[in-house]
Amino acid sequence: MKHPTIAVLVVALLGVAVLGDVSAQNGSSLIVAGQSIGKLPKPDADDSGMGKYRSVWLSKNQAGKETLYIFSVANDPRDIQPRNGVSIRLIRVTSPWYHTANSISTGNALPQILRSFPGARATDQGQTLYDDAEEGIIFEFAGRATAGAPCIAIMVHPPGEANLTTAKDVNDILRANGIQP
């Protein structure tokens, strides 16, 4: 069975990761729903096993700890081409440096987000996650998304597929790698 992919992640032996052509064409901080979020440095923390890879990068130039998270899977067991590669299933960012073509980034409130992504709908009872599944983008809020509550994370996933990782999940990976969130 073939699965759609966001991009192919090429991992060199030294652990340096580079996102495919989409981010290179659109700039290093551009979010493209269903496709990409910027360019990738070497990860600060990871959790891998059973053909699944969860990697976290921490901001090096801000007082707070902004994160970039990527969940990818090995292609071969899933009959995805290229068979010796991996496919990215979810990208999550907390830094406002990353933004969509229409300038949506973390820090934006729900009304601004809904103007740009009118298909976004609450996916949980607490209304902390809003997913535009058709576009392939999720917006996370620290609490109930109200008119003034800022978005704390943006996730990009393959359009039509439900994937998500919360702040708690990312913090668990950091702690497992000896890093305090």
Q: Determine the average pLDDT of the residues in 8-36.
A: 45
- Map residue 22 onto helix, strand or coil: helix
Q: What residue numbers bound the domain in which 94 lies?
A: 8-176
In a domain, 1, yes or no: no
Which of 4-8, 34-38, 112-116, 147-151 is least confident?
Answer: 4-8
In a domain, 107, yes or no: yes
In a domain, 181, yes or no: no
- How many CA atoms within 13 Å lie on the side-chain side of 172? 7
104 has a pLDDT exceeding 60: yes
In a domain, 2, yes or no: no
Q: How many domains does the chain have?
A: 1
The structure's pTM equals 0.76
110 has a pLDDT exceeding 90: yes
Closest CA to 94 of 125, 62, 120, 119: 62
Q: How confident is the model at residue 63 (pLDDT cuts 50, 70, 90)?
A: low
In a domain, 80, yes or no: yes
In a domain, 59, yes or no: yes
Tell me how crowded residue 9 is: count the other CB atoms within 10 A of its CB.
Answer: 19
In a domain, 104, yes or no: yes
Tell me how crowded residue 160 is: count the other CB atoms within 10 A of its CB.
Answer: 11
CA 121 to CA 35: how far, in whole Å?
Answer: 20
Pairing of strands 30-32, 99-100: parallel
In a domain, 3, yes or no: no
Higher local confidence (pLDDT), 53 or 84: 53
